[in-house]
Chains A and B, each alone.
Chain A
Amino acid sequence: MIEHFDPSLVDWSRAQFALTAMYHWIFVPLTLGLAFIIAIMETIYFKTGDSQWKKITKFWMTLFGINFAIGVATGIILEFEFGTNWSNYSWFVGDIFGAPLAVEGIMAFFMESTFIAVMFFGWNKVSKRFHLVSTWLVAIGSNLSALWILIANGWMQNPVGMKFNPETARNEMMNFWDILFSPTGVNKFLHTLSSSYTLAAVFVLGVSSWYLLKKVNVSFAKKSIVVAAVFGLTSSVYTVLTGDNSAREIVRNQPMKFAAIEGLYDGSAGAGLVAFGVMAESTNGKHKNMKDFNFKIEIPNMLSYMAYLDGNAFVPGVNDIINGFTDNDGIVHPSVNQKIEMGKKAITALRTFKTAKKAGDKTMAEQAQKDLEANFKYFGYGYFDDPYDIVPPISMSFYSFHMMVGLGMWFILLFIISLVYIYKDLITNKKWFLRAVLWSIPLAYVASECGWIVAEMGRQPWVIQDLMPTLTAVSNIDVVSVKITFFLFLTVFTGLLIAEIKILLKQIKNGPNHGGQ
């Protein structure tokens, strides 16, 4: 069945979505994290009454405003794409996505737009307390609006709380709370937010380091570094914990993704974690996505511990998942061939259901519905013939994951060293360190984007885990129009990014004496 879909259309639609999502994500994490950093700074101003903290708050608020304004509405493009390029998908999940996205829209509009105005226009016009409350509400509101889209994404990774209606071909929400509190969604939300806070902290640290390198605004920069380093250290340690929770959740619900990010082909008890590895350029002959390691350094038993908190637990590899395995909880996972068979039965049952309904044959429709329900769990597998087609791009998943983790550790080190140097009053003399911090700003963005590559590439070929492969989700549209809009987006977003960087750099050069005015 796979051959019925146009691979060029699928690839261009994916490329376009990836492009717009990744550009959108350049703006979002800084907004999410900087909002809280500003709120903390303003709280210090509120408590101490020290006017320098007001100046510090207003400066970072200016940079927040620029980033927020340039980034605002860039996410709407993704919704345009859902309706045009991914109509099968949008229809299939419409009822599930409707509620969270509507809540997000209302929340983002009312909470953020109201209190952002107070934040920027309200200095000296509203009371200090009301202004502080508004700043905190902007931070909370922007983070809560991220909740809903991440819950929706979590549902795609682990679809729960719904029932498929064969008459409408839509998944209908059965339990909102199951979707909201799905461990996948909750872990995703917490991990994404804490990593965004880390990015924002690195940003504040980096810009402040630039001032110290230039020997201007020294007191301002040192105070900003203290807030950013404490906030960043707390956030990055929490990011490690939420990442750890995510790993344990992924190994159960998306074992193939877990195997891919570790390049684990053959599972074992007491599996080792690849701390560093280099993959071969050519494939290992089984599938285009599977490449062996040329070189790797392993930490024995660590992967088993990471996955099950037991150094001797069995972790399934790609081949185990393909051939079927029994996990540590005693659950038997059928082979992919068995899943393909069940998926094909589900697809046939849906077709039969539709035909029977049209013909008015109730008995046949009821039987078809039963068959569909019995096999729906593996509906998406029915589109594949080769079991290895469910293997995601291993090298991309592996490298993205390891870069994300490596950079995360680097940021923790930066925050600790910053605090030590600040405490010992040595930071202004450590130029090598200040330069390293400054150049870590782009690395924070790389780590953040890598996180999304792990999440989205690691779960391929699924757009909804086990139910809908990416190739069936696309609309039957002309590939040329997708190519045109791909380059249009590339131009528009690159323009926006250049505008943001130019305005940001100008404000940074102006320094805190001009900020927030």
Chain B
Amino acid sequence: MSLVNTLIVEMHNTFLKIKFILSSIWKFYLEGFKNQNKWSRQIWLVILIKLFILFFVLKLFFFPNFLKSKYKTDQERSEYVIDQLTNPKK
């Protein structure tokens, strides 16, 4: 019984330690972001605009994966590429 109790206490302590570490990391990042100055905020704005343009404009509308969008299986894709390499069409 005492072994089980000890185990439970140990587990509880470990859980508290992990919780403490995670909340410290969370606070660390939160305070870091909160205490940023003007230039840091400008930089974040540039990053967010850039990521939006990259992933929601360019990737979605202009850069589909050519082989994945045209063919369903790897076999079809390899056949297409072999065809391109051995018998290229205009």
Q: With the chains together, A225 CA to B68 CA distance in Å?
A: 52
B47 near A354 with CB under 8 A, answer no
- A30 to B: closest C-beta gap in Å: 15
A475's partner among B33, B66, B79, B87 (CB-CB below 8 A) is: B66
Q: Which of A284-292, A305-313, A400-408, A476-484 contacts B (4 or more CB under 8 A)?
A: A476-484
Apart from the given pairs A84-B64, A87-B81, A347-B86, 7 other A-B contacts in the complex at a CB distance below 8 Å: A4-B90, A70-B43, A70-B46, A88-B84, A485-B62, A485-B63, A503-B46
B28 near A69 with CB under 8 A, answer no
Q: Is B58 an interface residue (CB 8 A)?
A: yes
A114 nearest CB neighbor, chain B only: B25
Q: Is B11 an interface residue (CB 8 A)?
A: no
**Chain A facing B: main interface SS:** helix
Number of A-B residue pairs, CB cutoff 8 Å, is 120
- A280 to B: closest C-beta gap in Å: 35
Residues in chain B near residue A70, CB distance under 8 A:
43, 46-47, 50
Q: Is A301 an interface residue (CB 8 A)?
A: no
Q: Is A50 an interface residue (CB 8 A)?
A: no
Residues in chain B near residue A120, CB distance under 8 A:
32
Q: With the chains together, A69 CA to B49 CA distance in Å?
A: 12
A347 nearest CB neighbor, chain B only: B86
Q: Could you give, for residues 110-124 of chain A, a 1 whenever the CB lies within 8 Å of some chain B CB and a 0 otherwise?
A: 000000010011100
A517 near B79 with CB under 8 A, answer no
Name the residue in B53, B78, B85, B88 with the highest tally of chain A Cβ atoms < 10 Å from its Cβ: B85
Name B51-71 residues within 8 Å CB distance of A. Answer: 51, 53-54, 58-59, 62-68
A125's partner among B28, B51, B82 (CB-CB below 8 A) is: B28
Q: Is B29 an interface residue (CB 8 A)?
A: yes
A472 nearest CB neighbor, chain B only: B85
A477 near B66 with CB under 8 A, answer yes
Which chain B residues have a beta carbon within 8 Å of chain A's beta carbons?
28-29, 31-33, 35, 37, 39-40, 42-44, 46-47, 50-51, 53-54, 58-59, 62-68, 74, 77-79, 81-82, 84-90
Q: Which of A74-82, A147-155, A178-186, A261-269 contacts B (4 or more CB under 8 A)?
A: A74-82
Q: Is A507 an interface residue (CB 8 A)?
A: yes
Q: With the chains together, A66 CA to B46 CA distance in Å?
A: 10
A-B contact pairs, 29 of them (CB 8 A): A65-B40, A69-B46, A70-B43, A72-B47, A73-B47, A83-B66, A83-B68, A84-B63, A84-B65, A87-B81, A88-B85, A91-B77, A91-B81, A121-B31, A121-B32, A122-B28, A125-B31, A167-B78, A168-B78, A169-B78, A169-B82, A347-B85, A350-B82, A350-B85, A354-B79, A485-B58, A496-B46, A506-B39, A507-B39
Residues in chain B near residue A506, CB distance under 8 A:
39
- B38 to A: closest C-beta gap in Å: 10
Residues in chain B near residue A157, CB distance under 8 A:
none
B43's partner among A65, A170, A476, A517 (CB-CB below 8 A) is: A65
Residues in chain A near residue B78, CB distance under 8 A:
91, 167-170
- B54 to A: closest C-beta gap in Å: 6
B66 near A87 with CB under 8 A, answer yes
Residues in chain A near residue B79, CB distance under 8 A:
354
Name the residue in B33, B54, B66, B87 with the highest tally of chain A Cβ atoms < 10 Å from its Cβ: B66
Name the residue in A91, A167, A350, A492 with the highest tally of chain B Cβ atoms < 10 Å from its Cβ: A91
B86 near A351 with CB under 8 A, answer yes
A503 near B43 with CB under 8 A, answer yes
Q: Is A499 an interface residue (CB 8 A)?
A: yes
Can you list the 6 inter-chain pairs with the closest CB atoms, starting with the nearest? A121-B32, A351-B86, A80-B63, A87-B66, A83-B65, A4-B88
Q: Could you give, for residues 462-506 of chain A, a 1 whenever the CB lies within 8 Å of some chain B CB and a 0 otherwise?
A: 000000000010011100010011001000100010010001001
- B76 to A: closest C-beta gap in Å: 11
A349 nearest CB neighbor, chain B only: B86
Q: With the chains together, A62 CA to B77 CA distance in Å?
A: 47
Residues in chain A near residue B58, CB distance under 8 A:
77, 80, 485, 488
A70 nearest CB neighbor, chain B only: B46
Q: Is A197 an interface residue (CB 8 A)?
A: no
B29 near A69 with CB under 8 A, answer no
- B83 to A: closest C-beta gap in Å: 8
